[in-house]
Amino acid sequence: MQTHFSLAQLADPDIQVADKILRACVHCGFCTATCPTYVLLGDELDSPRGRIYLIKEMLEHDRPATEKVVKHVDRCLSCLACMTTCPSAVHYMHLVDQGRRHIERTYRRPLVDRVVRRLLAAVLPRPGWFRLALVTVPLARPLARLLPARVRAMLALAPRSIPGPAAVVRPQVFPAEGARRKRVALLTGCVQQVIDPGINEATVRLLTRHGAEVVVARSVGCCGALVHHLGRDALDSVRANVDAWIAEADRGGLDAIVANASGCGTMVKDYGFMLRTDPAYAEKARRVSALAKDVSEVLQELGLRPPIAAGGRRVAYHSACSLQHGQRIHAGPKDLLQRAGFAADDEATGGLAEQGGGDERGGGGSFTRFGRVQTWRACASRRGVRDRLP
């Protein structure tokens, strides 16, 4: 794709990146076949290629975002299936992230959007605030019909009951069982630790059982993905996490920084890119990104012990878009399930992912980034879960 950035524009490191990404695109259209929003809506502007054109025009001419641009960029689920499909290695993730930042700087959204987006950015990354917000949901449900559609959708998704907080999220060290084979830091996350604290507890049990010492480092918070995907500046959170993990690595050594939520893992693996122009953090962020691993990668390195229960149970495996497209992890998790004695089956959650490399499982992704509710519902409907939606 031909670009026309001026020399003055190309002095900006972000524009340099955008220019390189845009020039890699050859207009082939392979991405359209695996883009869930294009398959659903049939609009070229709701495909990666269409959004690339919109972002190109916006950045190249340094124009404020229009309502049309915002609508189509907001609909993007960031499932990144287009990156798996693209034969030219177009790094769509970095381009759409830059487009969202430009939109946030130059476009004034309707009042309801502004309020809800600010609440999401303030509440979701803070487990204490998020837990408090969920406690108040039953009070708001009777008033749901009076609220905007997007707020009603969020209320419908909120769990009816909230588990108690897990003790494993506090800064501490969990010793390995037997000889220590690895020392890893666990990212305990933000939303996940409130919605399902058992995931962190199970992660600690599994890693320590297989010889890993697990550290929950002090001062580590949200990875920053929730704020980042809203187009807002998440670099303060990123820097705080980098400082905390580098301090832990320098103090006791780290073999890995483990994420058990794939969206968080994709984000942490990108810290090196995000802080590449910060002289105080560039090298430290590269170290953190190099250490970042999904829990399945660490377990493959450790090797699973023989299963302690009779195998053969059939389980459905959901390959998250941020895992298979963001981190390029495909067969590993299913292999681990099979070695643990399970019959892993991904047909039950089949979609575009099994039909050519794409993914239509990102309906929740659009919702988290406060995209169009209609698009989110349609994606979920194609997955056969319409009955769960508002």
Q: Chain-wide mean pLDDT for the chain?
A: 89
Rounded distance between C-alpha atoms, residue 22 and residue 123, angstroms: 35
Average confidence (pLDDT) over 38-53: 96
What does residue 316 show for φ and ψ, rounded to 5 degrees? -90, 130
Rounded distance between C-alpha atoms, residue 288 and residue 268, angstroms: 7
Rounded distance between C-alpha atoms, residue 22 and residue 48, angstroms: 12
pLDDT at res. 372? 52
pLDDT at res. 58? 97
What is the secondary structure of 165-190 as a DSSP string? Answer: PPGGGSSEEEPPSSS--EEEEEE--S
Strand (E) positions, the chain? 172-174, 182-187, 212-216, 256-259, 292-294, 313-316, 342-345
Q: What is the pTM of this model?
A: 0.89
* Residues forming CATH 1.10.1060.10 domain(s) in the chain: 7-106
One-letter amino acid at 377 equals R
pLDDT at res. 380? 55
Query: Is pLDDT above 70 for 379?
Result: no
Q: pLDDT tens digit string along 74-95?
A: 999 999 999 999 999 999 999 9
One-letter amino acid at 235 equals L
Query: Is pLDDT above 70 for 47?
Result: yes
For the chain, how many helices (H) and strands (E)?
22, 7
Query: Is pLDDT above 90 for 352?
Result: no
What is the secondary structure of 17-72 as a DSSP string? Answer: HHHHHHHH-----GGGGG-HHHHHH--GGGSHHHHHHHHHHHHHTTPPPPHHHHHH
CA-CA-CA-CA torsion sign (335, 197, 264, 301): negative
Q: Which two tokens stand for residue 318?
A: 């959901």
Count of residues in the chain: 390
Q: Which two tokens stand for residue 164?
A: 């108690």
pLDDT at res. 6? 96
Residue 200's CB is within 10 A of a number of other CB atoms, namely 23
Rounded distance between C-alpha atoms, residue 147 and residue 12, angstroms: 42
- Could you tell me the pLDDT band of residue 347, with boundaries at 50, 70 and 90? low
Strand partners, 184: 214, 256
Average confidence (pLDDT) over 49-55: 97
- Residue 282's contacts (CB-CB under 8 Å, 6 or more residues apart) are 272, 275, 276
Q: pLDDT tens digit string along 274-289?
A: 999 999 999 999 999 9
- Give the SS3 label for residue 125: coil
Rounded distance between C-alpha atoms, residue 266 and residue 86, angstroms: 19
Q: pLDDT tens digit string along 175-218?
A: 999 999 999 999 999 999 999 999 999 999 999 999 999 999 99
Domain 7-106 has CATH 3.40.50.620: no
Query: Is pLDDT above 80 for 364?
Result: no
Cα-Cα-Cα-Cα torsion 328, 223, 182, 281, nearest 10 degrees, comes to 100
Place of tokens 């239509």: 360
